[in-house]
A and B are shown apart, each in its own frame.
Chain A
Amino acid sequence: GESVGLHLPTLSVQEGDNSIINCAYSNSASDYFIWYKQESGKGPQFIIDIRSNMDKRQGQRVTVLLNKTVKHLSLQIAATQPGDSAVYFCAENAGRGNKLVFGAGTILRVKS
């Protein structure tokens, strides 16, 4: 399910390393998942999406993996850069049109 609270999990990585951000979703009926990036003071920005009939999808420097058996989603960022520092949200579509349910987010900090 979603984690709720004031203290978001934080992932600190060295510039150039790969990052893996994890997300557990709650609804086994969800058939569409999205990763968003949110920089300080800005709105969420679409990164990559995946439908439930896939288990992997690749974009530019990013890969999303979906494990429906354990209801787990991950975002892999290759060669992490300082500009990747942000809060990352996963969102699931619970099967009712375009309505998304968001997770609480993970802070990614990239050290130079």
Chain B
Amino acid sequence: NAGVTQTPKFQVLKTGQSMTLQCAQDMNHEYMSWYRQDPGMGLRLIHYSVGAGITDQGEVPNGYNVSRSTTEDFPLRLLSAAPSQTSVYFCASSWGSGSGVETQYFGPGTRLLVL
């Protein structure tokens, strides 16, 4: 299994541009989530999904959209990039539909710089 994969690894955007961060997992996990990590801080939850067709907001959802059309993929869209969205973005997945708690496995991250 490849586990959780993320593309691209690095991205530079100009303010106002849009882009999609890709996340895929091949473990048939129901639960997927997106986090951002800022320097010296822990991870903060952006959006999450408990299964295909179901998404919900996390702690810091503003400026981001998600969709979950398949079990495997969970893309994160930046609608109009802002410098405050400069961060490292991590995707994670786990078993379970969200009613319980299961260990989450993380991808390698996407480093985003917004100028």
Contacts and interface: CB of A to CB of B under 8 A. Distances in A.
Contacts, number: 73
Contacts of B39: 6
Contact of A99 (B41, B48, B103, B105): B48
Q: For chain A, what secondary structure do more than half of its interface residues adopt (helix, strand, loop), or is it mixed? A: loop
B58 A99 contact: yes
Interface residues of B, number: 30
Interface string A37-60: 000011111100100000000000
Interface of A: 2, 4-8, 31-32, 34, 36, 41-46, 49, 89, 91, 93, 97-105
Interface of B: 4, 31, 33, 35, 39-45, 48, 50, 58, 90, 92, 94, 96, 98-109
